[in-house]
Amino acid sequence: MNKNALRKSLIPYLVIFVVIASIVLFADIFDRKVNTLTYDQLIADINAGLVEKVAITPNKNAAVYKIAGVEKGYASNETFAVNVPLSDEVVAKLLSLQEEYNYEFKTNEDPNASAIFGYIINIATLAILLGGAWFILTRQSGSASKSMDFGRSRAHLSTGQNKVTFDDVAGLTEEKEEVAELIDFLKDPGRFQKMGARIPKGVLLVGPPGTGKTLLARAVAGEANVPFYFISGSEFVELFVGVGASRVRDMFKQAKQNAPCLIFIDEIDAVGRQRGTGLGGGHDEREQTLNQLLTEMDGFGANEGIIIIAATNRPDVLDPALLRPGRFDRQVQVNLPDAKGREEILKVHAKGKKFASSVSLENIATRSVGFSGADLENLLNEAALLTVRRNKNVITMAEIDEAHDRVLMGPAKVTKKYTENDKKLVAYHEAGHAVIGIKLSHADVVQKITIIPRGHAGGYNLMLPKEERFTATENELLEKITGLLGGRVAEELTFGEVTTGAQNDFEQATKIARAMVTEYGMSDLGPVQYESNDGSVFLGRDYNKSKNFSSQVAFEIDQEIRKIIDKCYKKAHEILKSNKDLMKLIAETLIEKETLTKEEIDYLVDNGCLPKEEIKEVSLEDLTISDLKEMAKEKKIKGYTKMTKEELIDKLKD
C-alpha cells in the first residue's frame, strides 16, 4: 500500500471525526434559548423578585455592558440578555438591588483581552484530538501495509550521492576495459543494435574479498549515469515460501520502468547455489528464488535495457544454468593487484593524508605483496591512526611499518614478557629462516625479522619474492619449503631439542609439498592430477564423495610428500650447519635489538656488525612537544601536561 492510497483511505475517517468533534464542542450553541430584554424591563423584573442570577461583562470595544442571567420559571437552556452603555451607575444600581433582593450577582472581565488565548485553547484541543486520531489510524494502516509487504523488492535505488567513477577505481585497468562497453551501450544502444550486436545481459565479477568488485560495479553506474539498483543475495530469501521469487519479480518490474538501468547483486552465491544439493534437496525457498531469477534473466519475457552485474568469491558453487550464455554471458576476474596496481590504489587512498617526505608509495607497494585494495586502504588508515596517537603532524615510515605488521599479524604484544630462554629460542628460530633466505638464490628475500610477539606468533620473518610471477618452478617450491623448515632446524642445531614454534611452518610446507605431488605433477608419480582445490561446501556431495585414486596411490602420495619434506629438511640442516656463525650473529643481534630491517640484515651480513649510530646533539627547541612532555615526565616536573612548548623548554633547561 503506497502513501497516496493510504491518504485516500484515511480521508473519510477524518471527515467523520471532525463532524463528531464539532457536534460535541458546539452542540450547546445550537440548543440554547436567549430572551432579549431592555434595561428598564430588567430593573422591573428584579423589583418583582423574578431574577435569580445576573452576570455583567464589559465590552470596551463596543462600549457596552452585556448583562445575562436567569429568571424564575426559565428552562435549563433558557437565559436573558441585556445590552446597556458602559456606565458605573449600571453596576452600582445592580449591586444595590442585589443587596435588597438577594439574587446571585457576578462580574466578568472583558473577554476581548483574552480572546486570543481562548482561540488557542480551542484550536489546540481540536488539534490534539485530530492528531491522536491520525496517529491511531496511521499506525493500524502502517501495520497492515507492512504485513502485506513481504513480496516487495528490497533493492535500493542509488540517488547519485557519493557518485563513483572510474577515476576512483585504481589497479583494475583490464577489468575496467572489460566493462567499458556496458557503459557505451547504456549511453548509446543504437550503435550496437545497428550492427546486430547483443550486449551481455549479465556480467559476473569473480575475485577474492576486498579486490574492488562492488566498487567497480558502482563505477559502471556512475560512468553510465543511469539508475543503479543494488541488493545483497541474502535479501531475497525469507522464511515464507515464495517471498524470494516475488521479490525478484518486483525488482525486475521496477527496473523495466526505469530502463536502461543497472542491477547489482552482491554475494550472489547466497541465492545462486546449485540446485539439488545437500542431504535434503527439494524445492526450498532458495531454489524457487533462483528459478525465478533464471526466468527473469532469460525466459519468455524480454528485459531490454537491463544489465545485471553480480559479485562473488565462490563461483564454483553457482548453478550452471546461471552461468550459461544469455544470463551471465561474461565473467570478469578481479584479481589481487600487482605492484603497479598497488601503487595506484595507494595513491587513491593517500588523498587527504599528510606524509613525510621520506615516505615512498612505490616502496610500500613493493613490500605489500598479496594485499588487496581493502588491505591497502586499511594499511594507510592504520598508519594515520597511529600518527594521531603518537601526536605527530605527518605519517612517517615508522607508522607505516607498524601498520603493515598490524595488518599481517595483529598488534604487538609489548606487555608480554619473554623469559631469557624463550627469547633466545625465538631469536634462533627466526635467524634460521633468515639464513636460508639469504643463502638460497631462489628463496624469498628477507625484508624484516622481529621477535616481538604478534597475534599467535612469538615472532615472524617477513620474506617476499624477488619478483611477482604467475608460475613457480619446482626448484623454487623446494627452496620455499626449505626456508620454512629453517626455524626447526636452527632449534635442533643450537639447543639439541625442538619446540612447538614451527607448527605453522610445517602446515605451509606440507601444503606446498602435497600440491606438488597431487596437483602439479612434480614427483615420481608423474604428471597426474590426483586432487584439485575446487573443494565443495555442500554436505550432500561430501557425504557421497568417492576417491579418484586407490588406497595404494594414497600411500604412494604420502611417501612422495615425505620424500620432499625429508629432502628439504636435510638441505636446510646442511646450510645452517655450514653457516652457524652467521645464524648466531643474526640471533644475538635480534636478542639485543628485537627487530631487524632488510638494510640492517644486509649490512650485518657484509660487515659482521651493525653500523654505529652517530650521536647527534639535539637541542630542546628541535624536539616536538610530545617528546618534551616525556622528558618532563621522567624528571617529575609538576603540571607539565598543561605547559606550552616554551614553558617546557624553560623548565627542562633549569
C-beta of residue 71 within 8 angstroms of C-beta of residue 36: no
* Neighbour-count burial for 92-108, b at 16+ CB within 10 Å, e otherwise: eebeebeeeeebebeee
Q: How far is CA 116 from CA 127, 250, 438, in A?
A: 16, 54, 94
C-beta of residue 503 within 8 angstroms of C-beta of residue 590: no
Model pTM score:
0.62
pLDDT given for residue 547 in this prediction: 56
pLDDT given for residue 415 in this prediction: 58
pLDDT given for residue 165 in this prediction: 79
C-beta of residue 268 within 8 angstroms of C-beta of residue 213: no
Question: Any alpha helices (H) in 31-114, and if so which ranges?
Answer: 39-47, 88-101
> Consecutive 10-residue runs of the chain (654 residues): their mean pLDDT?
53 67 57 77 82 81 78 81 79 79 78 59 72 64 46 56 75 81 76 76 86 83 77 68 72 77 82 67 66 74 72 84 83 85 88 86 84 88 88 86 80 67 86 87 75 72 71 87 90 88 88 90 86 52 54 89 94 92 88 81 80 56 71 76 77 72
Choose among 372, 358, 351, 444: nearest CA to 401: 358
User: Euclidean distance between the first and final Cα of the chain, in Å?
Assistant: 79
Measured N-to-C along each axis, helices 39-47 and 88-101 cross at an angle, to the nearest 10 degrees, of 20
pLDDT given for residue 282 in this prediction: 47
Alpha-carbon Rg for the chain, nearest whole angstrom, is 43
Distance CA 569, CA 485 (A): 6
pLDDT given for residue 288 in this prediction: 77
What amino acid positions are annotated as catalytic residues? Answer: 430
pLDDT given for residue 239 in this prediction: 54
Phi-psi category of 267—alpha, beta or left, where left has phi over 0 and alpha has psi -120 to 50?
Answer: left
* Neighbour-count burial for 505-521, b at 16+ CB within 10 Å, e otherwise: beeebbebbbebbbeee
Distance CA 1, CA 145 (A): 6
Distance CA 230, CA 291 (A): 20
Residue 206 CA, distance from chain mean position: 20
